[in-house]
Amino acid sequence: MGLFTGIEISSSGLSAQRLRLDVISSNIANAETTRTGEVDESGNPVPYRRKNVVFEFGTPFKVYLQKKIHRLGGVRVSRIIEDPAEPRLVYNPDHPDADEEGYVRMPNVNVLTEMVDLISATRSYEANVTTLNATKEMFLRALEIGRG
């Protein structure tokens, strides 16, 4: 394991969690967005769909290579996917996007779920910062030993 492996792992975690925080923020911001510019087959506006971040451990070749040289790897975002759950139907006949029966198709975003994910991502980000600072402190202590 090299000297900078801990820093590489922590920094990859920081980048991944920051993107996760951005996606969660987008989900919360669009929790009431009933129009995305698309229409379905019946001509109704398509509401915003919740997005999720999918993490993976490096790339397949990188994983193979890391196993060969006995190094640990970090995490990265492999893709951002849309939640396949159906939109919520809310009765609001006065809404401009209401159908003939008075129902509006609302995004499949639950703000409480997003807040839990936000707290989780924030804690993961903080843990990576703590790990990065601990690694930096170990480097500084090693340099002090070398001076003595």
Task: Quote the number of domains for the chain.
Answer: 1
Write 35-39 long-range contacts (CB < 8 A, 24+): 35/97
Which pLDDT score, from 0 to 100, does residue 67 have?
58
Largest CA distance in the chain: 81
CB 80 within 8 A of CB 104: no
CB 57 within 8 A of CB 12: no
Measured between alpha carbons, how far is 47 from 38 in angstroms, rounded to an integer? 8
Mean pLDDT for each consecutive 10-residue tract of the chain (148 residues)?
77 93 97 90 89 80 56 79 94 92 95 97 96 90 81
Which pLDDT score, from 0 to 100, does residue 7 have?
85
DSSP H or E run through 143? helix 111-147
CB 1 within 8 A of CB 70: yes
Full residue range of the structural domain in which residue 96 is found: 5-147
Which pLDDT score, from 0 to 100, does residue 68 have?
53
